[in-house]
Amino acid sequence: MRTVYAIGIAAFLAASPAMAQVVINTDNDSARHDMRAQQDRSMANQDQAQAQRDAAVGNYRGAAQEQRDAMHEERAANQQTRDANSDDKGVSVQIGH
């Protein structure tokens, strides 16, 4: 709904003779952050599975490293989720002469 209002305002301002330039920006990085969070979580799951396999064959040092990697990936995924939630999902209209 915000998009409709923004387009209406932009159209009105574009038709105004005093305005030389109207720039409509629809920045939405939320989808990019969500995709990255999913990738990070997938990598964390793979690292955790590898840690379990390593522990099963007695490679405890490798298992510990894989668990650390999994925790790192999970923290990265959480950060991407926070970034996605904090992104401005609206439309901005910039007016210049």
Q: Span 27-55, mean pLDDT?
A: 88
Span between the terminal Cα atoms of the chain, in Å:
28
Return the closest-CA partner of residue 66 out of 80, 57, 81.
Answer: 57
Domain that holds residue 23: 2-96
Is pLDDT at 55 greater than 70 in this prediction?
A: yes
Pairing relationship of beta strands 92-96 and 21-25 according to DSSP bridges: antiparallel
Dist. CA 17–CA 88, nearest whole Å? 30
Eight-class DSSP state of 90:
S
**How many domains, the chain?**
1
Return left, alpha or beta for 58; rule: phi > 0 is left, psi -120 to 50 is alpha, else beta: left
Q: Which residues contact 43 (CB under 8 A, 6 or more apart)?
A: 73
Question: Using one digit for the tens of pLDDT, what is the confidence trace for 61-79?
Answer: 999 999 999 999 999 999 9
Higher pLDDT among residues 8 and 17, named by residue: 8
